[in-house]
Amino acid sequence: MTRVITGTGSYLPERVVENAELLEIVENFDAERAGSDLDSWLRGRYGVERRHWAAEDESTGDMGLVAARRALEAAELDADQIELIVMATATSDHVAPHSVSFVQAQLGTKAVFHQLQDACPGFLNALIVADSLMANLGYKKALVIAAEKMTHIVDKRDFRMIGLFADGAGAVVLEDVDLPEEVGFRSFWAGSDGAAGKALRVPAGGTRTPLTAERMAAGEHFLISDFRDVYPFAVRTTQACVEQAVARAGMTVDDISYVIPHHASANIIQDGVGQAGIRPEQVLMAIDHTGNTSSASVPTALDEEVRAGRFKDGDNIVLLALGGGMGWASTVYTWVDPARARAARR
């Protein structure tokens, strides 16, 4: 049996925020010090021109639900046919119950569900979990979701943070099908470095440092990034994600058709994949109009490319993600037309 993608879906909130609009919100951008206007700085460093912001009353679960429904529609499945749901997010609706509880209930399915409290690497880790559970527990149809409301944990006064991070959701349907050739997931690779975890952190709000009025006033409930530490980590890990996934698949970089990386920032992606021998035209990103949606960035970009008809049978695609934790994961996926995969379902 072969586990393959039979449907993809994504969701970006209605509100679109252009770079110029951020000038009315941020408080710490100095054009003279930056040597450019804010729009040019964000385009040059991050590759971001615009992004989507969720409404105040729009939750992570709401966004994940829309992406899930779109993936199910693409897979031509009813929700009650799904046996497993694995969702990743760092911005859950509640501490308990998790966002995935809401998604399962709204879909009207009794599928077993799991949620990973995971940020940027979350979607890839959720794929690994789903693939493992399907292999070991016999599930035939699974839904993998990543959704984030990053604007909930980002200080909108800080141009470096609100200029990069944004909101959205993506999902895929995985199925175990009978296909004669080698398609689907050819390798997985993952790693973690907890000692580096403080480079991306939300200091207060957990059991170690409970949120108080004083800590909130100090902005300790917002995401903090040590950019000088994150950049070299992200570049070398992006390179390693490509190289390790390719090697574990028994391939070389010449066998790779495309790479869909986590949208850390354009400069990180270009430097990291370039060092792995990937050409710029092979790198597929949506960061210019989505920003960094954390765990949702890879499935969102994947869905856009699928709907644009980018892939053909036999294309070898590296999906990779890295960030908060610090953690990273990657896979090589050999493409098969979802329609042909659906025809082979049992």
241 catalytic residue (yes or no): no
Q: What is the DSSP letter of 287?
A: H
125 catalytic residue (yes or no): no
Choosing from 19, 125, 292, 316, which is the catalytic residue?
292
- CA separation for the pair 167, 279 (Å, rounded): 28
Choosing from 52, 262, 263, 316, which is the catalytic residue?
262
Give the pair of three-digit tokens for residue 51.
């992004």
292 catalytic residue (yes or no): yes
Burial class (CB in 10 A: 0-12, 13-18, 19+), 96: exposed
Return the H-helix or E-strand segment holding 8: strand 2-11
Residue 302, CA distances (Å) to 5, 137, 186 in order: 11, 27, 17
Give the pair of three-digit tokens for residue 4.
């393959």
Inter-residue contact 294 to 122 (CB < 8 Å)? yes
Choosing from 120, 125, 221, 316, which is the catalytic residue?
120
Give the pair of three-digit tokens for residue 233.
């980590």
Inter-residue contact 107 to 81 (CB < 8 Å)? no
3-state class percentages of the chain: helix first, strand second, coil last, to nearest 5: 40, 25, 35
Beta strand 258-261 pairing with 224-225: unpaired
Q: Which residues does residue 7 pair with via DSSP β-bridges, in sequence order?
A: 173
User: b/e string for 147-173 if b means 16 or more Cβ within 10 A?
Assistant: bbbbbbbbbbebbbbbbbbbbbbbbbb
Listed in sequence order, the residues at least 6 apart from 25 whose beta carbon sits closer than 8 Å to its beta carbon are 156, 157, 162
Question: Which residues are part of the catalytic machinery?
Answer: 120, 262, 292
